[in-house]
Amino acid sequence: MKLWIKIKNHFFNAFRELFVHHHSSLEFRAKILALIIAANENFDSKECEIITEIGQDIYKNDSERVNLLFLSTKELVKKVKDDNGLDIDTLIANIQKELKYVPRYAKKIDVESLKSIVKLSKDEDTISYQNNILEFLQDLKDETLNSKKSQIAKDEEKLVSTY
């Protein structure tokens, strides 16, 4: 049974854009989570539990999407930690770029839920760094929501989303 789950997860990761409704929204959320987690050099399995909890709050009864959020976040954190063409600065740039093109994603930045990840950190420097990232994300969210109000309203008129 475990082998089947691994194959299924690999398949969804490889073809996420084709099979997952609103995959770009899920990817954006994964980038936000990965940004906070990757800022901690000593992260552990407790962050995994927090990702799952946050995913369950967002996606309610959709365990597939919760699992995909978890897998996407884990994949991004691994890329950052392995220095595999992605670092925190690139992740921030990607988030800013996505908000420029899809400003309604700013509503998906939930700083309060991200604070639960920061609470797991032990090192004061890491906590300070993560708090600076949270402050940056809150400022980015506020700025985007204020400067792009009309575009967000137009986009939301066209969009019907479950999440």
Predicted TM-score (pTM) of the model is: 0.82
pLDDT at residue number 18: 42
pLDDT tens digit sequence for 102-126: 999 999 999 999 999 999 898 999 9
Distance, in Å, from the CA atom of 79 to the CA atom of 114, rounded to the nearest integer, reads 20
List b or e across 114-129, with b for residues whose CB sees 16 or more CB atoms inside 10 angstroms. Answer: beebbebbeeeebbeb
Distance, in Å, from the CA atom of 162 to the CA atom of 83, rounded to the nearest integer, reads 35
Q: Model confidence at 19, in pLDDT bands (50, 70, 90)?
A: very low
- State how far the alpha carbon of 106 is from the alpha carbons of 99, 140, 148, in Å: 6, 8, 10
Say yes or no to pLDDT of 28 above 70: yes
Q: Which of 26-30, 44-48, 79-83, 146-150 shows the lowest mean pLDDT across its residues? A: 44-48
Distance, in Å, from the CA atom of 12 to the CA atom of 18, rounded to the nearest integer, reads 9
Say yes or no to pLDDT of 71 above 70: yes
pLDDT at residue number 20: 45
Place of tokens 């969210």: 141
Distance, in Å, from the CA atom of 59 to the CA atom of 38, rounded to the nearest integer, reads 23
* Residues 56-79, mean pLDDT to the nearest whole number: 89
Neighbours of 156 (CB within 10 A): 12
